[in-house]
Amino acid sequence: MPNDDVAEIRGELARRIAAIAPRRGAAALAREIDAIRRIAHHNNMLPAVTVAHLLESALARGEQGVLVHDWLAMLDEAVHSDCQDAATSDAFAAACQVRFA
């Protein structure tokens, strides 16, 4: 994917993440995260897919408030990661397990 396309996709995902209000209901949050995950998946942004999936699971467990804000910050980091490979995805998954245990 050309650099301009990557920057455009990262920008779109970052705008979507920034627009999410953690105080919204779980169903609305889940829909927004699902849309971000699908865009990331379509563009082979594996770390973002992984963090979005883990965030969806956290929402399903009933996590909310400040913790959701922290998850969104981690998702933004994954979107902006220079490496978008499986190893980086695994590293983000491990970081989520430690940070949000």
- The residue extents of the domains of the chain are 3-99
pLDDT at 39: 97
pLDDT at 63: 87
Query: pLDDT at residue 3 above 80?
Result: no
Q: What's the token pair of residue 2?
A: 């050309």
pLDDT at 22: 62
Q: Which of 43, 100, 35 is nearest to 69 (CA)?
A: 100
27's CB contacts (< 8 A; 6+ apart) are none
Q: What is the pLDDT of residues 13-72, one digit of tens each?
A: 999 999 987 667 888 889 999 999 999 999 999 999 999 999 999 988 888 888 888 999
- pTM (two decimals): 0.90
Look at the block and give the residue holding tokens 């865009």: 39
CA distances from 35 to 4, 39, 48, 86, 95 (A): 21, 6, 12, 21, 23
